[in-house]
Chains A and B, each alone.
Chain A
Amino acid sequence: MLEIKDLHASVAGQDILKGLNLSVKAGEVHAIMGPNGSGKSTLTNVLSGRDGYQITGGQALLDGHDVSELDPEQRAHAGMFLAFQYPVEIPGVSNLEFLKASLEATRKAQGKEPWDAVTLLKKARETCKQVDLDPQFLKRGVNEGFSGGEKKRNEIMQMLLLEPRLALLDETDSGLDIDALQVVARGVNSLRSPDRAIVLVTHYQRLLDYIVPDHVHVLAGGRILKSGGKELALELEQKGYGWLTDQEDAPA
């Protein structure tokens, strides 16, 4: 589904990704871990087509198509979704209005039948409940004055309604209390299916107790330094990243 080959990318003239390889197949869940500033968010932003993130070498293929040929909204229509590490507020635009615009555009592009207002409201309410968000939040401005955890749950709520084929979750677990973590994990797990894939960026093994990954990768210095199964996360939890990055820095 997602094939990243020797990807180089820069932000503000600074090289951040330096030859990253990653292959994600339908049905899989991948976890990406790594030190602060190593380029994890950069990777999700590059994949989603954010302005200012330049691909300088290599490529990322979604279903065999080079993503750089698509506008951000076209990537969304192709089934890609990014749950933001820091969801931004849009004052005055209600969550429901936002969902309506989002679902209308996306479902139309995907050739799915549109939802009428009643269906939309019903589904939105149900999904709010699924992530333990009061349906009153549908009336509030997008993320406007939401707590950190509420913003994250709001992202998951939108994800569940949009049913992406490739979900990129950037530190969705950070800022969540223990109960919310389980709620979010349940939401993400409900999306798991043989034709979807999920990439989780996280710092904590704990999330991976709830969303068990098929693969775990360590991203450092703009590259995947090590990949393994779910036990790699446990190992990282104990040892930190030093043993990996030292190895990297060591003269050959």
Chain B
Amino acid sequence: MTSQAELDKLIRGDYAAGFISAIESDTLPPGLNEDVIRFISAKKGEPAWLLDWRLEAYKKWLSMPLPTWAHLDHPPLDFDEVSYYSAPKSMADRPQSLDEVDPELLRTYEKLGIPLHEQEMLAGVAVDAVFDSVSVGTTFKAKLLEAGVIFCSISEAVHEYPDLIKPYLGSVVPQGDNFYAALNSAVFSDGSFVYIPKGVRCPMELSTYFRINEAKTGQFERTLIVADEGSYVSYLEGCTAPMRDENQLHAAVVELVALPGAQIKYSTVQNWYPGDENGKGGIYNFVTKRGVAHDNAKISWTQVETGSAITWKYPSVILRGDNAVGEFYSVALTRHMQQADTGTKMIHLGKNTTSTIISKGISAGRSSNTYRGLVRISPRAENARNFTQCDSLLLGDTCGAHTFPYIESRNPSAMIEHEATTSKVSDDQLFLCRNRGIDPEKAVSMIVNGFCKEVFKELPMEFAVEAGKLLEVSLEGAVG
């Protein structure tokens, strides 16, 4: 039976029967309605409360207009053209070997020094899923279990740990928070769940990389991290190699809960396909990331964004408790026709709360790079402090850099510092390098890396090295 026929059946209301056959199917035709959501939920065998939660989100989404305030320019998105559920491609449908993969992509992997089996994984080659990290994965899981850390897919967590999911899902980013978050809440495919028990320091950096085989989470990913009192976790999202992905639209949600005294460090390297130099293709990335920091808790976001045709992303911290700390370190590089509108929000609610924002934007080609940040000090946030530094670096003169720093201070004891610079890779700097025998491409990448140093030093060690290499590869052809 075709999936269209199944859907028709669903729509006709023949649910009970319709479901059974529908569940066996793998992909839904494009379009979104309540039945599609029921289908997704049923496919995952979700409990009723979660289906209701999704449906509620969908109702909210229907009433929300598409946001237009960002400094982004793209053709209107047609949400009826998106297919909201597709199972991972079958082995037969995927490239059978690296020979069938875009050589350009492979060349990039080569430059980044990615081992062969990882290249296959990233390029979506049909390799036996047991090939790599089963043993690594299991020893790693055992170690976490010993510490009481939960790290699993969010679908699994819904079944295994409903008591942890129910109170926290949507607690930081509510269903109706914004257009894309509402969409995600209605149709999220999968994602990660992390719980760190009281007083536990997570024994290793948690990386989605470890779950890459099972983590074909698709375009509506949802992540929830709960760090219980006094615990610590460092979480790495993404990988430095460009991901092969057919999906144009991505709308992810990440929620972080740092209970009193907890610390969450969340690092992202995002290198999805940015489109070609004429702006053809590329991922549209609309992400909502937010954390709540309770008393004495700390949340740090570090991001290196070099991919996607469009990036719409504002990892934020609600400093709810007294003495809470929020940090945002960002490098956003745009080239070709890429557009990035990214930044953060630091919402100071508690007393003696502190936030730091370091943003480095690098623009090349005909790209547009916008920093948008909000620092809000609420009336009861005595002695709140913020330091913001926003630096833009331009390569060439056809690109654009913009900064929109918003400050809303409603408590006179607040101390807010803001610094902003815009610079160019100067001819003098380039000439000094060349005079010392360094070719211009290497020179530019070195200068850009230097510009980003304050952010890179916040990344976990091996990530920082890779991020540096990634910039180098991304900047190729940016000079000249």
By a CB distance below 8 angstroms, the chain B residues around A98 are: 433, 436, 446
- Interface pair A92/B431, CB less than 8 Å apart: no
Q: Are A76 and B429 in contact (CB under 8 A)?
A: no
List A contacts of B426 (CB < 8 A). 88
- Please tell me if the beta carbons of A92 and B434 are within 8 angstroms of each other in the complex: no
Q: Does A237 count as interface, using CB distance less than 8 angstroms? A: no
Taking the closest CB of chain B, its distance from the CB of A138, in whole angstroms, is 15
Q: Classify the secondary structure of B's interface with A.
A: helix
Could you say which of A49, A71, A90, A101 contacts B429, with CB atoms under 8 Å apart?
A: A90
- Which of A90, A105, A162 contacts B442, CB < 8 Å? A105
A73 within 8 Å of B by Cβ? Answer: yes
Docked pose: A101 CA to B446 CA in angstroms:
9
Beyond A72-B435, A97-B446, 12 additional pairs, beta carbon < 8 A: A50-B431, A73-B435, A76-B436, A77-B437, A88-B426, A92-B450, A92-B453, A101-B443, A101-B446, A105-B438, A109-B437, A142-B432
B426, B432, B453 pick with most chain A CB within 10 angstroms:
B432
A87 touches B432 (CB 8 A): yes
B427 sits at the interface (CB 8 A) = yes
CB atoms of B442 and A101 under 8 A apart = yes
Bound Cα distance A158, B433 (Å)? 12
Instruction: Say whether A93 faces chain B, with CB atoms less than 8 Å apart.
Output: yes
Question: Would A102 and B437 count as touching, CB distance under 8 A?
Answer: yes
Whether B451 lies near A92 (C-beta < 8 A) is yes
- Residue numbers in B under 8 Å from A158 (CB-CB): 436
Q: How far is the CA of A91 from the CA of B438 in the complex (A)?
A: 17
**In the bound complex, CA of A73 to CA of B439 (Å):** 6
Q: Which residues of A contact B453 (CB under 8 A)?
A: 92
Contact B447 A48 (CB under 8 A): no
Contact of A84 among B432, B440, B442 (CB under 8 A): B432
A131 → B minimal CB distance (Å): 16
Contacts of A92 in B (CB 8 A): 449-454
Residue B408 interfacial (CB < 8 Å): no
**Contact of A105 with B437 at beta-carbon distance under 8 Å, contacts A90-B450, A92-B449 already known:** yes
Asked if B428 lies at the interface with its beta carbon under 8 angstroms from chain A, I say yes
Report the minimal beta-carbon distance from A219 to chain B, rounded to whole angstroms: 21
Mask, B247-265, CB within 8 Å of A = 1, is 0000000000000000000
Chain A nearest CB from B480 CB (Å) reads 12
**Of A81, A97, A109, A142, which is within 8 A of B435 by CB?**
A81
Q: Give, as a whole number of angstroms, the nearest-CB distance from A110 to chain B.
A: 9
- A200 to chain B minimum Cβ distance, whole angstroms, is 17
Asked if A91 contacts B434 (CB within 8 A), the reply is no
* In the bound complex, CA of A49 to CA of B449 (Å): 25
List, in ascending order, chain B residues with CB within 8 A of A19's CB.
Answer: none
| Pair B436/A141 contact, Cβ less than 8 Å | no
When the two chains form the complex, which single residue of B431, B436, B450 contacts A162, counting CB atoms closer than 8 Å? B436
Assembly CA distance A105 to B438 (angstroms): 6
* A→B interface (CB under 8 Å): 48-52, 71-73, 75-77, 81-82, 84, 87-93, 97-98, 101-103, 105-106, 109, 141-142, 158, 162
In Å, the complex CA distance between A109 and B439 comes to: 11
CB-based contact A88/B435 at 8 Å: no
Nearest 7 A-B pairs (CB), nearest first? A92-B450, A93-B450, A106-B437, A72-B434, A76-B437, A102-B436, A92-B453
Q: Which residues of B does A touch, CB under 8 Å?
A: 426-429, 431-440, 442-443, 446-447, 449-454
Judge whether B438 and A73 touch: CB under 8 Å.
Answer: yes
Verify A76–B435 contact, CB threshold 8 A.
yes
Identify the closest chain B residue to A90 (Cβ): B429
- The closest CB in chain B to the CB of A45 belongs to B431
Q: Which residues of A contact B434 (CB under 8 A)?
A: 49, 71-73, 76
Chain B nearest Cβ from A68, distance in angstroms: 15
Bound together, the chains give a CA A77 to CA B439 distance in angstroms of 11
**In the bound complex, CA of A84 to CA of B446 (Å):** 20
**Residues from chain B with Cβ under 8 Å of A71 in the complex:** 434
Contact B437 A91 (CB under 8 A): no
**What chain A residues lie within 8 Å of B439 (beta carbons)?**
73, 105
Say whether A72 contacts B431, CB under 8 Å. Answer: yes
Known: A51-B427, A102-B438. A91 touches B432 (CB 8 A): no
**29 residue pairs from A and B, CB less than 8 Å apart:** A48-B435, A75-B435, A76-B436, A76-B437, A82-B435, A88-B426, A88-B429, A90-B432, A90-B433, A90-B450, A91-B451, A92-B449, A92-B450, A93-B446, A93-B447, A93-B449, A98-B436, A101-B433, A102-B433, A102-B436, A103-B437, A105-B437, A105-B438, A105-B439, A106-B436, A106-B437, A141-B450, A162-B436, A162-B437
- Chain B contacts for A73, CB-based, 8 A: 434-435, 437-440
> What residues of chain A lie closer than 8 Å to B446, measured between beta carbons?
90, 93, 97-98, 101
Q: Which B residues lie within 8 Å of A91 (CB)? A: 450-451
Most chain B beta carbons < 10 A, residue from A72, A84, A88, A109: A72
Q: Name the A residues within 8 Å of B442 (CB-CB).
A: 101, 105
- Residue in contact with A101 in the complex, picked from B435, B438, B454, CB distance below 8 Å: B438
Least CB distance from B437 to A in Å reads 4
> Which chain A residue lies CB-closest to B456?
A92
Complex Cα distance, B434 from A105, in Å, reads 10
Question: B437–A51 contact, CB under 8 A?
Answer: no
